[in-house]
Amino acid sequence: QKEVEQNSGPLSVPEGAIASLNCTYSDRGSQSFFWYRQYSGKSPELIMFIYSNGDKEDGRFTAQLNKASQYVSLLIRDSQPSDSATYLCAVNDYKLSFGAGTTVTVRA
Amino acid sequence: DGGITQSPKYLFRKEGQNVTLSCEQNLNHDAMYWYRQDPGQGLRLIYYSQIVNDFQKGDIAEGYSVSREKKESFPLTVTSAQKNPTAFYLCASSPGLAGVGGEQFFGPGTRLTVL
């Protein structure tokens, strides 16, 4: 049974700060990793994907992958109130396995 | 506009009824998926389909059924055998099943409530 674990929330950060989200996975053979953002009552929205070890940056978001440690993270720089949402980590072999999500609240 | 549509947005079911949730995509994606989300929890996979006329059970398929007669359509039936069907149901599609191109895109969801 694949498992994807995320750091328990909620995570509260002041506006302009960095929010750091962590995710670990149990299947060492996993190849692709995704971060989704889900606003309350809405469906998940893909914000980042990463396949290779290292960092991948897209605007204010940076995904970091370390396959040896089975760890993937998401950094949100210059956090804005509009970033307040639940962030879901997902790991894909032939299907996506999702973590339970971390709820982020950005305080104005 | 390309995307995934789900209908209805809200659905109410009486005990013992079967209901069918619609999912249509015009992204020309091969793979389609159904997930269930309960409050405060992540997504759990119900069924997925890689190609037309083929589909596989996910982690929680009991009490559900699907069909894939057309590439763009993947309806989900919640049967009376599903004992706790109240949840948020999400349909997704992806270009392929895994790896590069395995990123999934979600429809807006259907919120099912059992009365």
Q: Which residues of B touch A46 (CB under 8 A)?
A: 103-105
**Residue range B73-106, pLDDT digits in tens:** 999 999 988 889 999 999 999 987 665 557 889 9
Number of alpha carbons in the 13 Å side-chain half-sphere of residue A53:
5
3-state SS assignment for residue B50: strand
Distance (Å) of CA B38 to CA A52, B26, B44, B112: 32, 27, 9, 11
Q: Is the CB of A94 inside 8 Å of chain B's CB atoms?
A: yes
Structure confidence at residue B64 (pLDDT):
97
Structure confidence at residue A105 (pLDDT):
97
- What DSSP designation does A68 have? T
The distance of B59 to chain A (nearest Cα, Å) reads: 10
Those residues with Cβ within 8 angstroms of residue A40's Cβ, 6 or more apart along the chain or in another chain: A85, A86
How many other C-beta atoms lie within 10 A of the C-beta of residue B21? 23
Structure confidence at residue B16 (pLDDT):
87
Query: Is the bond preceding residue B75 a cis peptide, omega within 30 degrees?
Result: no
Q: Which residues of B touch A45 (CB under 8 A)?
A: 106
The distance of A102 to chain B (nearest Cα, Å) reads: 10
Task: Check whether A84 has a pLDDT greater than 90.
Answer: yes
The average confidence (pLDDT) of chain A is 92
Tens digit of pLDDT at every position of chain B (115 positions) = 569 999 999 999 888 899 999 999 999 999 999 999 998 788 999 999 999 999 999 999 999 999 999 999 999 999 988 889 999 999 999 987 665 557 889 999 999 999 8
Q: What are phi and psi of A66, to 5 degrees?
A: -135, 100
* Chain B residues touching chain A at CB-CB below 8 Å: 33, 35, 40-45, 48, 58, 90, 97-100, 102-109
